[in-house]
Structure 1
Amino acid sequence: MREAQHLSFTTHDGVELCYRHWPAVSTTSATARRALVMFHRGHEHGGRMAHLVDELDLADYDFFAWDARGHGLSPGERGDSPSFATSVRDVQSFIDHISASHGLAVEDLAVLAQSVGAVLVSAWAHDYAPKIRALVLASPAFKVKLYVPFARPGLQLMRALRGNFFVNSYVKAKFLSHDPARIASFDNDPLITRAISVNMLLGLYDAAERVVADAQAIQIPTQLLISGADFVVQRKPQEQFFERLGSLRKEKHILPGFFHDTLGERDRSHALSRARRFLLRCFEEPVARPSLLDADRLGATCAEAESLAAPLPKNSLGDLYWRATRAGLKLGSGLADGVKLGFATGFDSGSTLDYVYRNQPAGTSALGRMIDQNYLNSIGWRGIRQRKLHAEELLRLAMGKLREQGSAVRILDIAAGHGRYILEALEGVEQQPDSILLRDYSDINVRDGAALIEQKGLGAIARFVKGDAFDRNDLAALNPKPTLAVVSGLYELFGSNQMVGDSLAGLAAAVEKGGYLVYTGQPWHPQLELIARALTSHRGGEAWVMRRRSQAEMDQLVEAAGFRKLTQRIDEWGIFSVSLAQRVS
């Protein structure tokens, strides 16, 4: 039996989490090192997966298994995390650590995850689009069987009244596995915790619904193992997830009679032999991912956007509902300044965005200010403000990298709106950029952005000019060449990949090799129909219909232009991402 090394890594927020590493026992110089990264069930820890290291019989693979925060040997209140999204980002931190500290390329990693761990990994695969080799998901807890009627809304109400609190698992070990040894070890393991916080439980539900609904965005080769007699989670969402998966290679196995602990069942050899065969096959062949460069003309998000653009049958229930919604917003625009500005300039305009960033509700009366407060607190605008913080963080990170390289910091934003996120990112920065060039197609944005530059006292290094963000040749001819380009909130507004590709190609020609690009994406949005049916855009007041781009699609467009993605941030709802890439070719 292989012996585990007990190690730790530091997460994005400075917490030190524990993990186990089982080094490969035999390697050949003819093949690259390979590894399997394992993620445990809820309530458990990485040590509960130790038996898989020998049972999978992959002697030339490194194995890793973490203890999620609040579990096992890792710190944190038992069964809790600041949010489900925090734990998803922990997955990315763990993968980054393994790659950097153990010398393993991300393309040489595969992931094996079970239950809650499988939902964490599925959300990570959806939101971060990692280029790992394969996924094996065992009994993902996309929908936990709570058995009590109306349990979920009841928990939501209680949390609203009490704040976060903890509930204990009702599941007994004998309903997890038929294996007597596994049952005994579960009952006697002091590192197992029965509690889970309501924040984590409800976050699990929310993330699972989003991932199941949009599984087409996941391109990684995936094997799904479903327990046929699972008392803990429901099968239907697992089936839906598999049907919608966008992977070119995917397979599903239903294991009759298996309880929830799929990988710890008495007859688990039936599951493990299939997982082993799938993993070996995925590593034998080159990584195969579908090209998404034409996803604007063919595929799920293309069809979704066309459906949203199509008018509803006149006087149908849907038509009446959205007409009433538009009328309500029009009425509100007479009282609430933010809603009024949206109708005047477009809800996607630079002026609206700057208003959302400032987040100061205003109106003609107390009622108007209350309406405006509700408007500014909508999930989309909260996501926009988080995107601003993430963009500022990655801007400062890129500036630091340029200084470390001994390069000048020449910032370019090709569609800056009012430029607030660029200019506020510089607050508190010890060494200011050498130059800042802000561009926008709107005369209003150029005027107001220039005023903001003067207000911030940055006139000596910054200027604002009119420019077309999709003019490839104009961007390529910029002089002096920028070393840090920014595209925030622009490409999400235009469905055409040709336009985005031309813009990125112009930036690739403009940015010096070794320079950086900060770019945003919108892989998901829960209010797409509201936006399309009730809000207007800056383009002549027409309907604001957006085509989503999965993170994988956005990353492929950036890579095709000659950039290599380095890191990414995304909000807790999975709506807006911000990524940093480097110009490499």
Structure 2
Amino acid sequence: MQEQEKTFTTADGTSLFYRYRPAKDGSTDKAIVLFHRGHEHSERMMFVADELGLDDFAYFAWDARGHGRSPGERGDSPSIGTSINDVQTFIQHIQQEYHIAAENIAVIAQSVGAVLVSAWLHDYAPKIRCAILASPAFKVKLYAPFARTALRLAYKIRGNFFVNSYVKAHYLTHNKARQDSYNNDPLIARAISVRILLGLYDTAERVVADAQAIITPVQLLISGSDWVVHHAPQHAFYNKLGSHIKERHVLQGFYHDTLGEENREQAFVHMRRFIRERFATPLVHPDLTQSHLYSDSRREADELATPLSICHPCGAYWAARRWLTQLGANWSEGLRIGRDTGFDSGSTLDYVYRNQPQGTNEFGKMVDKYYLNAVGWRGIRQRKINIGHAIQAAFAHLRAADKPLHVLDIASGHGRYVLDALATDALPDSVRLRDYSPINVAAGRALIAERGLQDIATFDEVNAYDRANYQNLSPRPTLGIVSGLHELFPDNDLILQSLYGFGDAIESGGYLIYTGQPWHPQLEMIARSLTSHKAGCPDWVMRRRSQQEMDQLVERAGFEKIQQWIDEDGIFTVSLAVKKYSEVK
């Protein structure tokens, strides 16, 4: 079938180039999506379609932004997070434009492309059939001593700049034709921006450390004589993978261009069989809804909740950190609010949203600024922005379906993140805010009055985990919101009560916005030195839920995820789901 040249539009409006080859046998229901190495482009991946010989699959291959015929400065992207989201948008485009279900899509990715795909599998939890990762660039070999530290320091001082790849074609593959084509291809970009290189390292470390969250069937191909990337992180990734179906093949003597090597048929034999086996077997996703009882995240939370002796160096360190936090509360307003109401309280979050350092003196303001710039609080503020995007997306869907806009938020804190997302020229029909805390309710009512929204908005003190509190609501909500609540409680049976409540309250065709926390780099610091608002639980210990786990819980209540947002550090997700079923458990 004739190869076609196409474009798709990313979340930020950029038009990216891709190649599409229909299935040779005329099939229209299955696809293999190809992701190229760094510096390269789609044309150098399409040979995979020829050599696989799977004629009942359509093939797609993109030019990542900053590569090939896609726009952007060569070797650059606004961020690694943007590129990961581009993967999500590309797959959604294929699903919508070509009517190919996610479970009928396989992905093959090399090197940098394999890192982007791995992060996508972790962060977005797509329900694709399988993924093949060839020599993922989890850790690029930088032969100069302290190169990574020097690049990070230079980036902090200079801002973004570019470095050229040291790798020559004859260190990528033994295949002379591939070497020559690499050397003579005008679309090959030898440069890579430092922000992308550093972002690649940071993302890879996160994904390798939390690979147990990935449950997609994965085949990992490791080049045995790779000059470009280290082997150890690839093996660590494989060993930690949560996939019930996974394979690892070390191809002895292979250089980094695994799929373009001289003896690449060794790799293609494994790939061909793996894809055929996966599509010959029904796709079954492991049930993660009982992860609060047994899972790596349960073990992690139990370890964080285990007291440390003050006589142990770690115990002494965290006791000192806790004391310093309490001491800092004498001068820093943010620390004071956290001490008095809990660092996970609605009052703390409202202060973080406002992001205006305050203190009793200049020292206190300096401490407060440092506190508000913590990676977790940056993620919280981005979550607020993403909730705004999700609210506007839900409103657009509801207006397109000629449905009323009735909002129900069950744990609003002070309600700022919801009220800030309302466009004054196109307000919803009603907004019903709720919270368990009388402090939050009073603050929220004051915020409603301050903005003159009393005609459409109410704020009540209600328990979000009592399913009976969702019954017989009038008007019946068409958009439900739950933000930051479920992350505070490890018990899935408990949070299902609120999700079932949403399922009771929202009719088919309505929407739900829900948040998740699949990753957090400061979990131990939070657990050991910050206090919670919950009575009887002074320590703020959180059990992370993978995105797959969170999505499955939402599906139990009759909703199906249709869109997702995530911050650059991969900490907080915001998802939009549509109510699919009229009856819930």
Q: Which moved more, 1:466-475 or 1:254-263?
A: 466-475
2:461 to 466, 475, 483: 466
- Measure how far apart 1:406 and its partner are: 1.1
Secondary structure of the structure 2 residue equivalent to 1:425: coil
The separation in 2 between residues aligned to 1:310 and 1:407, in whole angstroms, is: 50
2:520 to 508, 520, 525: 525
Secondary structure of the structure 2 residue equivalent to 1:36: strand
The separation in 2 between residues aligned to 1:317 and 1:479, in whole angstroms, is: 57
Q: Which residue of 2 aligns with 1:511?
A: 506
1:286 equivalenced with 2:285 (yes/no): no
1:92 equivalenced with 2:83 (yes/no): no
2:72 to 70, 76, 80: 76
Amino acid of the residue matched to residue 339 of structure 1?
L
The separation in 1 between residues aligned to 2:409 and 2:254, in whole angstroms, is: 55
Q: Which residue of 1 aligns with 2:381?
A: 385
- Measure how far apart 1:476 and its partner are: 3.0
1:41 equivalenced with 2:30 (yes/no): no
Q: How does 1:380-459 map to 2 (within 5 A)?
A: 380-428=376-424, 430-459=425-454
Secondary structure of the structure 2 residue equivalent to 1:73: coil
Q: Which residue of 2 aligns with 1:25?
A: 24
Say whether the 8 Å CA contact 1:248–1:289 is kept in structure 2. no
- Measure how far apart 1:51 and its partner are: 1.0
- Measure how far apart 1:513 and its partner are: 1.3
Say whether the 8 Å CA contact 2:310–2:319 is kept in structure 1. no
* Cα shift readout 1:462-490 (whole Å, capped 9, x = no counterpart): 01001011001221332321110000000
Amino acid of the residue matched to residue 524 of structure 2?
E
- Measure how far apart 1:345 and its partner are: 0.1
Q: How does 1:86-485 map to 2 (within 5 A)?
A: 86-428=82-424, 430-485=425-480
- Measure how far apart 1:76 and its partner are: 0.4
- Measure how far apart 1:33 and its partner are: 1.2
Matched-pair identity in %: 57
Q: Which moved more, 1:324-333 or 1:442-451?
A: 324-333
Amino acid of the residue matched to residue 437 of structure 1?
R
Say whether the 8 Å CA contact 1:227–1:259 is kept in structure 2. yes
Amino acid of the residue matched to residue 156 of structure 2?
A
How many pairs were matched up?
580
* Cα shift readout 1:88-110 (whole Å, capped 9, x = no counterpart): 00001101111111121111111
The separation in 1 between residues aligned to 2:36 and 2:256, in whole angstroms, is: 12
Q: Which runs of 5+ in 2 are unaligned?
A: none
Q: How does 1:554-565 map to 2 (within 5 A)?
A: 554-565=550-561
Q: Which runs of 5+ in 1 are unaligned?
A: none
The separation in 2 between residues aligned to 1:476 and 1:206, in whole angstroms, is: 46
The separation in 1 between residues aligned to 2:130 and 2:374, in whole angstroms, is: 37
- Measure how far apart 1:4 and its partner are: 1.8
* Cα shift readout 1:241-281 (whole Å, capped 9, x = no counterpart): 00000011000000000000000000000001100110111
| Runs of 4+ displaced beyond 6 Å | none
Say whether the 8 Å CA contact 1:108–1:132 is kept in structure 2. yes
Q: Which moved more, 1:200-209 or 1:497-506?
A: 497-506
TM-score normalized by the length of structure 1:
0.98
Q: Which residue of 2 aligns with 1:16?
A: 15
TM-score normalized by the length of structure 2:
0.98
* Cα shift readout 1:496-545 (whole Å, capped 9, x = no counterpart): 00011111011100111110000000000000000000000001361000
The separation in 1 between residues aligned to 2:471 and 2:494, in whole angstroms, is: 15
* Cα shift readout 1:399-418 (whole Å, capped 9, x = no counterpart): 12111111111100000000
The separation in 1 between residues aligned to 2:258 and 2:580, in whole angstroms, is: 44
Q: Which residue of 2 aligns with 1:537?
A: 532
The separation in 1 between residues aligned to 2:193 and 2:334, in whole angstroms, is: 37
The separation in 2 between residues aligned to 1:358 and 1:285, in whole angstroms, is: 51
The separation in 1 between residues aligned to 2:233 and 2:102, in whole angstroms, is: 29
Say whether the 8 Å CA contact 2:309–2:316 is kept in structure 1. no
- Measure how far apart 1:288 and its partner are: 1.7
Amino acid of the residue matched to residue 81 of structure 2?
A
Secondary structure of the structure 1 residue equivalent to 2:439: helix
